[in-house]
Structure 1
Amino acid sequence: MSSASERPTVTHWRPGPIFVVAVLTVLAMLIALGTWQVQRLAWKEALLERIAERIAAPPLSLAQAEAQWAQQGEIEYVPVEVSGRFDHDGEQHFLATHQGQSGWYVYTPLELRDGRALIVNRGFIPYDRKEPATREWEEPEGIVSFTALARDPLAEKPSWIVPDNAPADNLWYWKDFAAMREAMGLAADATVPFFVDIRSYGADSGIRVPVPGVTQVDLPNNHLQYAVTWYGLAAALAVVAGFMFFRSPNRKEW
């Protein structure tokens, strides 16, 4: 029987150049992803601050809002004061939820004093009140005034998981401005080039339905969490790789 001093020594694998290059490449990628998320965090916080400032600002006239749109090419969440007459025959319905209830956002063309039209999200109605004949309230006639938030039209469908709109069935899943304008029978050169969402009517309007003030400004901001995750993975990789690289190449195992 051999003695303990004669037992063989096990030689452990030492990382070579290919391993080092691979680890450094992955480490650089993880750090880059973490840094990108930090940059995205700064961008998102600035965006949220900008939106908050806009919403809190005094409302513009529709003419001022149009001038800003023409100059900047965007008008998202800018408060606007509007007045006109609703054309209820052009009403369109956007599938939505409000405070946990399924239903519709009612989009209606508003006839302006100068003869043009503005597409207005009037607010929320319950799912079973889509057809006017099912409603127990009367739609407003004559000139109405309200404050609203301007909304930019979307350049394309937000995601492939969003269903396609069905204009023939008056069923909308995303705000396709051109298609909605066409479904309402509005001319492109006689329509304000953005939407508005009603925030509130005048105190003496008596209008309660559709429920206004449904604009959602809850933008997710998970970039700090993502940055911590990527940097954490980078740190873990560095620790594991360092342990493998610097441990003793020869060690006796019993």
Structure 2
Amino acid sequence: MRQAIAIILSLAVLALFIGLGTWQVQRLKWKEGVLAEIDARIAADPVSLPDSPDKARDTYLPVMVSGQFGDGTLRVLVSTKQVGAGYRLISPLLTDQGAILIDRGFVRVSHEMPPLPQGPVTIEGNLHWPNDRLSSTPENDVSGNTWFARDIDQMADALGTQPVFVITRQMTPPEPRVLPLPVTSEGVPNRHLEYAGTWFLLALTWSMMTLALLWRKKRRNT
């Protein structure tokens, strides 16, 4: 009787592990669909900047804005796989709809700060509300102009703009010394394949442990 109960409980646990792994596979397919939608949205034709951009509605929205850069550039410390450590350059763009924040792109830490472009510019990019700050992220050194996270409200206060943030995909005329870092879906977490593998590995391990236990009991009884 005890052995039968143990087998039933073992099968129930095995079914739970397999079920959770299958659920994560289903979540993986769902997340891949979400990422495909984000990629399509990012790459869509740009539109005019909305009068009142909304995070829930307008994240990743491709826009085209024109204006002239105002004074000031914030340096956000980042690291890229291809180039290494450097800064994202955040500057105010004066438009007919007011001043907004522009992520101009990337320069190496070892390079001098490039001057702001002079005269009218047109920027094609994406509205974004980045979530750079983690529990381990230091506070921004505003006085020393070294930022560790793109905190939009804080940047807007520092540069005297609206809390509207556009990440450059292309600027006309271009800045030869600044490398644009366009918005992509790479920062959207997708660990469902890893989770599925973990649950299926647990299912396999549990099966092997159960079979080993049954084999040992069988040997004792013979």
Please give the TM-score of this superposition, normalised by the length of structure 1. Answer: 0.72
Note if 1:62 corresponds to 2:49: yes
Structure 1 runs (4+) greater than 3 angstroms displaced: 14-17, 19-29, 213-217, 219-222, 249-252
CA distance, structure 1, for counterparts of residue 209 and residue 95 of structure 2: 68
Of structures 1 and 2, the larger Rg is shown by 1
Note if 1:106 corresponds to 2:83: no
Letter in 2 for 1:97: S
- Native 8 Å contact 2:124 2:170 kept in 1: yes
Which residue is 1:118 aligned to?
100
Choose which of 27, 34, 37 in structure 2 pairs with 1:40.
27
Once the 2 structures are TM-superposed, how far is the Cα of residue 242 of structure 1 from its aligned partner? Answer: 4.3
Across the aligned residues of Structure 1 and Structure 2, the Cα RMSD in angstroms comes to 2.9
Higher relative contact order (CA 8 A, sep 6+): 1
Q: Deviations over 1:116-153 (max 9, x none)?
A: 21111001112134xxxx45x54212221121121125
Note if 1:95 corresponds to 2:72: no
Choose which of 109, 114, 117 in structure 2 pairs with 1:127.
109
Which residue is 1:80 aligned to?
63
Count of matched residue positions in the alignment of Structure 1 and Structure 2: 218
Once the 2 structures are TM-superposed, how far is the Cα of residue 74 of structure 1 from its aligned partner? Answer: 3.8
Once the 2 structures are TM-superposed, how far is the Cα of residue 62 of structure 1 from its aligned partner? Answer: 0.8
Once the 2 structures are TM-superposed, how far is the Cα of residue 100 of structure 1 from its aligned partner? Answer: 2.3
SS across alignment from 2:147? coil
Once the 2 structures are TM-superposed, how far is the Cα of residue 29 of structure 1 from its aligned partner? Answer: 4.9
Once the 2 structures are TM-superposed, how far is the Cα of residue 235 of structure 1 from its aligned partner? Answer: 3.2
- Residues 102-181 of structure 1 mapped to structure 2, 5 A cutoff: 102-114=85-97, 116-129=98-111, 134-135=112-113, 138-154=115-131, 158-181=133-156
CA distance, structure 2, for counterparts of residue 75 and residue 35 of structure 1: 33
Once the 2 structures are TM-superposed, how far is the Cα of residue 161 of structure 1 from its aligned partner? Answer: 2.5
Q: Deviations over 1:79-116 (max 9, x none)?
A: 11011111132x111001342232100001111123x2
- Give the direction of change, closer, same or farther, for the CA distance of 1:74–1:175 in structure 2 (3 Å limit): farther
Name structure 2 gaps, 5 residues minimum. Answer: none
Which residue is 2:207 aligned to?
238
Once the 2 structures are TM-superposed, how far is the Cα of residue 34 of structure 1 from its aligned partner? Answer: 1.7
- Native 8 Å contact 1:95 1:103 kept in 2: yes
- Give the direction of change, closer, same or farther, for the CA distance of 1:44–1:210 in structure 2 (3 Å limit): same
Name structure 1 gaps, 5 residues minimum. Answer: 1-13
CA distance, structure 2, for counterparts of residue 49 and residue 22 of structure 1: 41
